[in-house]
Structure 1
Amino acid sequence: METAIKTPVEMLSHWVDIQGDSIYLKQPINGQYKEFSWRDVQTQMQQIAGALRHLGLQPGDKVAVLSKNCAEWFITDLALMHGGYISVPIYPTANADTIQYVLEHSGAKAIFVGKLDYWKDQEHGVGGEILRLAMPYDTMPAQYSWERLLELGTPLTEAPLPTPEQVMTIIYTSGSTGKPKGAVQTFSAYAWTCQTVVRDLKTHGEDRLLSYLPLAHITERVAIEGSSFYSGSSVAFVESLDSFVADVQRCRPTVFFSVPRLWSLFQQNIITKVGSAKKLELFLKIPLLSSLVKRKIQKGLGLEQCRLHGSGSAPIPPSLLEWYHSIGIDICEAWGMTENCAYSIINHPFNVNKLGTVGKPVEGCQVKMGEKDELMIKSPGLMREYYLQPEATEAAFDADGFFHTGDVCAIDEDGCISITGRVKDNFKTAKGKYVAPVPIERMLAQDEHVELICVIGSGLPHPVALVQLSEGASSQARDHVCASLKETLDSVNPHLESHETVDAVVVVNEPWTIENDVLTPTLKIKRHVLEKLFSEKVDGVRGAKVVWEDEVDQAKR
């Protein structure tokens, strides 16, 4: 980069000088905030970095972090940067095999373990050889506790500043198509992206951020952790899933990012509380009542002081964005990947006429359309390489340094980009015709009974849509849900090419979760897993039917 970059550690020093005694991090423990000032965070960072030196870890060593979000995650991340170590974050929901793969592939010398819901299931993936360091929560056994680390050795107060091209972190992709790949990110790429987020979203010291999406994912690490480093915002954490709503209400964030799945769950909860979607619609048409209802909804979510709402990590149905717009919540959809530090394209400032697009490239980011309308991207936030995978790295970039995103796109006359599918998601039916499933999924997902949807069809006569019902729909009569899904299917099929028409909607029995390996840790659907589970089962279900999986099972007996 032309201008000298400031690392997060330098930014921490900056805020300590300016507002050292102000509260930076708020960690709920048993429903009460434990608060850390900027100075507290710097002190603990120096002590943890000093303890790592004392334990014999050398600059350049890889150190893994396996924990749900918490104040100590930030402190650990800063300590690793300060000590010249390379962080390797692992999803707190990762199974033992994934943990073992990431630790072995990265060559991590130590691992910080923290807040974990299933550590007994994960422990054998960590193994007994690696040095374990524990954050102060209920977690797997470790050689050193956080309290011990804070007393070990001498604080590392002086350390050489990282160079821009020095490796800061290796972030393993969530593995929606197989083994995760390690994207190598430098201080330069991370700093550029964080500063760009702060520039565009105008984040400042008075902002309150909430950290709950996994910090092992680049989006949270840039949009929340990173923007706090570069804007001086305070950050609160969520204690548990059970306390989520209370934690949001207590923080009252001014900037709030979420993923489509959660925005969808919020919508269902709101409709359930009001009584029905039609009742809510009626309330919103009565002027005096409308503003009252909107305020009440926003307060109920804890978002009454939120000036910016975002959604990313997976496509969000435009109908959902329109619905939120109708209740006074404008959600800016953004697009990014692990490989480009998660921030490249965004519908910001919010433009209601561009719902269904992910907006325009941010300043400093270039896009072009490659073969098969693939979105190609170039920015200072791009990764250096895939760790220890030279062939994959070479295949990922074209001769001009543009990155192959694997997303199929369309670009309108205003330069706004729509993601219309994945190059590898397109499948060939038994008739030899290619089908792009994502546009079909988007049309079918307009049905309010649908929570998740996946269209499969490789080797089948026609595509079949697998549907997981929303929580509310699961408790409704099958006949009612079936009629609605059938009406949606019959309204979509006439708009499709003959080879794309959907043969059936199959409502699945089991919810799709991270635990049963259908969802990635960032809640993306693993299409290849569902293809494997369902292709044979649904073969032969024809005639634009809506059926439940148990009905298909009975018919096959």
Structure 2
Amino acid sequence: MDNTTVLHSLFAGNEAHPDKPLFHQPIERQWHTFTWGEVTEQAKRIAQGLQAQGFEKGDRIVIMSKNCAEWIIADFAIAMAGMVSVPIYATAGVNIIEHVINHSGAKAIFVGKLDNLDAAKAAIPSTLLSISFPYPTVECHEKWNDWLTAFEPIAKPYLPTSDDMATISYTSGTTSLPKGVVLSHKNFASAADNVIKLFEIRDGDRSISYLPLAHITERSLVAVFVRCKVEVYFTENLQTFVADIQHASPTGFSSVPRLWSVFQAQVISQVGAEKLDKILKLPIIGKLVAGKIRKKLGLHKARTFGSGAAPMSESVLAWYHRLGMPINEGWGMTETTGLASGNMPFSHQDLGTIGKPMPNIDMKLSPDSEILIRGDLVFSEYYDDPEATAENFVDGWFKTGDVATITETGAYKITGRIKEQFKTAKGKYVMPVPIESLLFANLNVEQACVLGAGQKQPVAMVVLNQSCKRKSTEIIKSLQDTLAKVNSQLESHQKLDFIMVCSHGWTVENDLLTATTKVKRNDVERHYGWLFDEERGEGVLWEEDLH
């Protein structure tokens, strides 16, 4: 067995301290603890259950569930059985579920906690063996707890090598059907090395697992958890989210920009932006208030803070820094097994950038300013798609599709994605991401998407924070000021004709966000296609006034 694999760390930890807590799972507001011994024992029994079905080494097994202890235990079990796990987001729609199951050639599926059962019921074929986690979910052929009783622990668990395939992780699919990214145990070990070193992970640290385990960022942390004996807490549901964070008191916390903005809006709605600004400037009282805010969020024990998946406004980053929460912006992809570069250790000078490359990889810019990357983090191939694999590699370098500049400090600053740029009627190309980042300087803006392919000028769709009083004089003026300020920083072909305030937010449920909360630009453009049917005015427009 290669001692870099996650199973090596699990077996070693179990042998050294079988009674030490590993997972903490809330069920109907009661916390249930899984020790190292219990996790290993359950994984071995589920592994035996998989082998008893006649499945063979390398067979693909799907996991579709919100985060829970059983998700990770199932992942361990699949590896112990010599098979390959294939995660599906718990929020995935019918077409994505069908695509992943069919494309991967899955032999079975574990199904667990889901907020909505409709898609899973419609998409999971009755011919595919299904095993339900011990939570309310869709009707399955087999039950998790029945397997724990029926099967003895696997006598000889498969011992993977670093080159073995660990998973097929499907991309979020912002512009097309997701591609299956083949990741090895070496990829995960390399990712873990980076996180442990740069975040200074210590034995006994605590983490809260709520970002989807189907996403590579959270998934790659599993190797960190077992290697460093981190106690992992799960959340029960959206309503208990903050309470669960407070209970866990994590020593590190990472999120996506949207959630950081929601936290910020909640704090400001209770205190007031100007009042809080004045308080934080007071030397002693400011620190006390900042500490109380961190404690209310459950983050008073956190040493490190992170953000990824999308660029974060520099004004929001600066706001959190004043609260004693320096957020390290990171960047990575499914193809890089998660984090590939980051502002770590935190540097105020590199605020608003994705920092510098991780220690064990190489990064550079192509002549077209596209980020190229290589190293042990980087995947080997797209599953069953040699054309896409060949298209995305050049001389051993992976073409990320992200465009960037390099600052004087050597940090990388993302300016957009090649696939997201569009051409206006004037024949000029526009990168939407930098413009959206400028819009986020307005703390009332929670979501933004700049469109304008084939139009005379770009326009901005925005969604306001729920705490805002729509159409109030204050909100209207703030948006007008933002539009003027943003346009003053843009070249003539980039200037926004108007900002349209959308009536409803973009969510995973209305199919305008991916499961990782990235805006699905093509779908947003289709959804608001009617906007370009006729000439519109300038300034700040409201969706409800245009119908």
Common fold, TM-score beyond 0.5? Answer: yes
Say if 1:460 and 1:539, in contact at 8 Å, map to a contact too: no
Aligned residue among 278, 282, 305 for 1:309:
305
Q: How does 1:207-226 map to 2 (within 5 A)?
A: 207-223=205-221, 225-226=222-223
| Inter-partner Cα distance in structure 2 for 1:68 and 1:15 | 26
Q: 3-state DSSP class of the match of 1:471?
A: coil
Say if 1:195 and 1:230, in contact at 8 Å, map to a contact too: no
Q: 3-state DSSP class of the match of 2:280?
A: helix
Aligned residue among 167, 180, 185 for 1:187:
185
User: What CA deviation, in whole Å up to 9, does each residue of 1:77-129 have, x standing for no partner?
Assistant: 10111111100000000012211111011000000000111113421101211
Question: Partner residue of 1:348?
Answer: 344
Worse overlay, 145-154 or 227-236: 145-154
Question: Partner residue of 1:417?
Answer: 412
User: What CA deviation, in whole Å up to 9, does each residue of 1:267-300 have, x standing for no partner?
Assistant: 01111121x1001011112222111101110110
Q: How does 1:76-475 map to 2 (within 5 A)?
A: 76-223=74-221, 225-274=222-271, 276-399=272-395, 401-473=396-468, 475=469
Worse overlay, 464-473 or 534-543: 534-543
Say if 1:272 and 1:472, in contact at 8 Å, map to a contact too: yes
User: What CA deviation, in whole Å up to 9, does each residue of 1:241-279 have, x standing for no partner?
Assistant: 0000100000000011111010000001111121x1001
Q: How does 1:22-37 map to 2 (within 5 A)?
A: 22-37=20-35
Letter of the structure 2 residue corresponding to residue 391 of structure 1: E
Structure 1 unpaired stretches of 5+: none
1:492 is aligned to 2:493: no
Say if 2:309 and 2:331, in contact at 8 Å, map to a contact too: yes
Letter of the structure 2 residue corresponding to residue 446 of structure 1: A
Worse overlay, 529-538 or 348-357: 529-538
State the Cα distance separating 1:476 from its structure 2 match. Answer: 4.1
State the Cα distance separating 1:320 from its structure 2 match. Answer: 0.6
Q: What is the percentage of aligned positions where both structures have the same residue?
A: 42
Q: 3-state DSSP class of the match of 1:116?
A: coil
State the Cα distance separating 1:199 from its structure 2 match. Answer: 2.2
Matched pairs, number = 547
| Inter-partner Cα distance in structure 1 for 2:218 and 2:67 | 10
User: What CA deviation, in whole Å up to 9, does each residue of 1:320-343 have, x standing for no partner?
Assistant: 110000111111110000001012
Aligned residue among 528, 546, 549 for 2:522:
528
| Inter-partner Cα distance in structure 1 for 2:252 and 2:343 | 15
State the Cα distance separating 1:373 from its structure 2 match. Answer: 0.7
State the Cα distance separating 1:539 from its structure 2 match. Answer: 5.3
User: What CA deviation, in whole Å up to 9, does each residue of 1:38-84 have, x standing for no partner?
Assistant: 11101101011011111222221100000000000110010111111
State the Cα distance separating 1:491 from its structure 2 match. Answer: 1.2
State the Cα distance separating 1:133 from its structure 2 match. Answer: 0.4
Q: 3-state DSSP class of the match of 1:28?
A: strand
State the Cα distance separating 1:542 from its structure 2 match. Answer: 5.0
Q: 3-state DSSP class of the match of 1:299?
A: helix
Say if 1:198 and 1:230, in contact at 8 Å, map to a contact too: no
Letter of the structure 1 residue corresponding to residue 411 of structure 2: C
| Inter-partner Cα distance in structure 1 for 2:467 and 2:242 | 19
Normalising by the residue count of structure 2, what TM-score does the alignment of the two structures yield? 0.98
Question: Which aligned runs of 4 or more in structure 1 are off by greater than 6 angstroms?
Answer: none
Letter of the structure 2 residue corresponding to residue 392 of structure 1: A
RMSD: 1.4
| Inter-partner Cα distance in structure 1 for 2:533 and 2:378 | 42
User: What CA deviation, in whole Å up to 9, does each residue of 1:386-441 have, x standing for no partner?
Assistant: 11111111011111x11111111001122101001011111100111111111111
Change (3 A) 1:492 1:199: same
Say if 1:538 and 1:552, in contact at 8 Å, map to a contact too: no
1:479 is aligned to 2:473: yes
Question: Partner residue of 1:75?
Answer: 73
| Inter-partner Cα distance in structure 2 for 1:49 and 1:346 | 37
Worse overlay, 145-154 or 37-46: 145-154
Say if 1:457 and 1:464, in contact at 8 Å, map to a contact too: yes
| Inter-partner Cα distance in structure 1 for 2:4 and 2:437 | 41
State the Cα distance separating 1:151 from its structure 2 match. Answer: 2.0
Change (3 A) 1:522 1:179: same
| Inter-partner Cα distance in structure 2 for 1:291 and 1:192 | 38
Say if 2:167 and 2:182, in contact at 8 Å, map to a contact too: yes
Normalising by the residue count of structure 1, what TM-score does the alignment of the two structures yield? 0.96
State the Cα distance separating 1:541 from its structure 2 match. Answer: 4.7
Say if 1:345 and 1:359, in contact at 8 Å, map to a contact too: yes
